[in-house]
Structure 1
Amino acid sequence: MRPRASLRTAVVWEVLKDALERRAKTADRPALDVLDTGGGTGNFAVPVARLGHRVTVVDPSPDALFALERRAAEAGVTDRVSGVQGDTHGLLDLVPPGEWDMVLCHGVLEYVDDPAEAVRNVVGALRPSGALSLLAAGRGGAVLARALAGHFAEAQHALGDPDGRWGAGDSLPRRYTADQLTRLVTDAGLRAAAVHGIRVFADLVPGVLVDTEPGAMEALLRLELAAAEEPGFHAVATQLHVLGERG
């Protein structure tokens, strides 16, 4: 049975694998150089390294980087994973600019002081043929989640708040619409090759239905994959993913 938690990354992982495969063929190099900003303990970095690519993780937390090192060792990819302490603000002082085939920026823009600067910096790290995988929290998903939980005033607050926050107790500083994320990517000089709604249904379906019904987990994953590229579902997705490319 597929772990329920894997639904949170399944769509992004499928998009990422396809993008890496296409870039490796175009570059005629089986091993690409991948930069994972805010990559933490290696949820994406280690699986990417297991595909044979070289991954550098930039993260402000020394504890996360220590866990990354341990995780890479357990997966047998220590020689293809390295960690650097830092963040997107000083990114181009930490890693060589213009030398990365793919940059991952997942769960970063919610927290940075200047999202536009962060995107410009990660784009500055890319090779001319490089691609950006950008993942951030969706505003509409938070509105829907609060409403379905019966917190109607909080849902309305999130709907009208410039940062998509539902109140003072909200732990997330910022959420985005698909248009906002796309604009950040295009303003930094890339085109938005694809936009995906992530966790459109997974966070709304009661766990008991998925965990007890035979085949329900795989069926829900297929539904998530089918709905991800449908623009009509982007407005209610928990997260939004943009694949940015040059040209």
Structure 2
Amino acid sequence: MAGSQPPHALQALWWPLRSALASAWPRRGDAQMQRMRRAAGGGEGDMHADAAERMYGALYLSHIRALAGGRSGLRILDVGCQSGRLAVPLAAEGHKVTALDLSPDWLALCRRHALEQGVALRTVEGAAEDAAALLAAQRFDLVICTELLYALEDPCRTLRVLRGLLDDRGLLVTSHRTRHYMLLTLARFQRWDDLAVVAGAEEGRVLGGQHYGWHEADTLHRMYARCGLQIEQMHGIGCLSGVGVDGLAAVLDAATLREDLPRLQALEQAVAHRYPDAARYRLVIAHPV
């Protein structure tokens, strides 16, 4: 029979069935946005075990190792550690690592990965803004807080807490979303209202009402200064590629690579200092003042 319409006798059954199927199987863009919301809320997968996420972790680690300057035994706090993507490798390199996260499930995975690697680290359950109370009078040579601050409505409150945990000569390593990433990802899935929010401000409610920040470099300099911190360096994390939900994944999806993943990592490292505004994350290195 020509055309795609079902026979007239079946139409009464076909249209309700079609509507039910449409509700049961959301559009791909909607499903991807749900994944983005879950990821921002604490992660949807084990970052330590995922090959592509480990590559992005390696990009962070390359900068952290440069800051360590070959020293071992540094006191390191990883805030929002998830499953130990950064904490476990740093502990394996001989540093004294404390891993803090709000999720007991992520902390359990972090301990499991540490055990698998035969390394020791300390885990603490709690929110980033409560870190000072949870860790009492402890001070650290490095405090790491990646892929968290952009989801907080008051990142400065947490930055002040983290600053208070630094030794006098300690360094803070953080990351923030870029506007470029947000625009690219939202455009990929035609989220027009969210795109208008991102284009018109540096923070706001997107993805169904969730708060995000995508601050520009000059805004971050002022924000960190208000929190008693001075930014030393900025680098891009993921300038050339993304994973799954990223707009950058439409160009090159790191999750699909296998033997070429090390080559991508080398290229990402080579261009990180050139394009901090055009990456998945803007890596920030700061010291207390």
AA at the equivalent of 2:203:
D
1:196 aligned onto 2:240:
no
Aligned counterpart, 1:134 = 174
In the TM superposition, residue 208 of structure 1 has moved relative to its aligned partner by 8.9
Distance 1:238 1:182 in 2: 19
Structure 1 unaligned spans of 5+ = 25-29
Deviation at 1:149, TM superposition (A): 5.0
Alignment partners' CA distance in 1, 2:225 and 2:262: 35
Please say if 1:5 is aligned against 2:53. Answer: yes
- Structure 2 counterpart of 1:143: 183
Q: Which of 81, 93, 99 is the equivalent residue of 1:39?
A: 81
Structure 1 residues 172, 236: closer, same or farther in 2, change over 3 A? farther
Q: Residue in 2 aligned with 1:105?
A: 145
1:147 counterpart letter in structure 2: A
- Once the two structures are superposed, the pairs formed by residues 1-247 of structure 1 within 5 Å of their partners are 3-21=51-69, 24=71, 30-78=72-120, 81-97=121-137, 99-149=139-189, 151=191, 154-163=194-203, 167-169=206-208, 173-203=212-242, 204=248, 205-207=251-253, 211=257, 216-230=260-274, 233-246=275-288
Q: What is residue 27 of structure 1 aligned with on the other side?
A: none
Percent identity of equivalent pairs: 27
Computing the radius of gyration from Cα coordinates, the structure with the larger value is 2
Instruction: Sort the Cα spacing of 1:40 and 1:4 in 2 relative to 1 into closer, same or farther, 3 A.
Output: closer
For the residues of structure 2 that align with 1:4 and 1:40, how far apart are their CA atoms?
15
Aligned residue identity for 1:222: A
Matches of 2:58 and 2:219, distance apart in 1: 23
1:171, distance to aligned residue in structure 2 (A) = 5.6
Structure 1 position 173, deviation (Å): 3.1
CA distance in 2, matches of 1:31, 1:108: 26
CA shift in 2, pair 1:40/1:119, >3 Å: same
Residues 226 and 176 (structure 1 numbering): CA distance in 2 closer, same or farther, change over 3 Å? same
| Residue identity matched to 1:105 | C
Q: CA shift at 1:71, angstroms? A: 1.3
The code of the aligned residue for 2:252 comes to P
- The TM-score with structure 1 as length reference comes to 0.82
RMSD over equivalenced CA pairs, Å: 2.7
Equivalent position SS for 1:173? strand
Shift of 1:162: 3.9
CA–CA distance in structure 2, aligned partners of residues 216 and 65 of structure 1: 31
Q: Which amino acid in structure 2 is aligned with residue 77 of structure 1? A: V
Q: Give CA deviations for 1:43-83 in whole Å, capped at 9, x if unaligned.
A: 110000011001111211111111111111111112xx111
Q: Deviations over 1:81-138 (max 9, x none)?
A: 1111111222211113462110001122123342111001101000001000011222
The answer to whether the 8 A contact 1:11-1:198 is kept is: yes
Whole-angstrom distance in 1 between the partners of 2:151 and 2:131? 15
Matched residue of 1:184: which SS? helix
User: Offset at 1:178?
Assistant: 2.7
Distance 2:254 2:235 in 1: 26
Query: What TM-score comes out, normalization by structure 2 length?
Result: 0.71
Count how many residue pairs are aligned between Structure 1 and Structure 2: 233
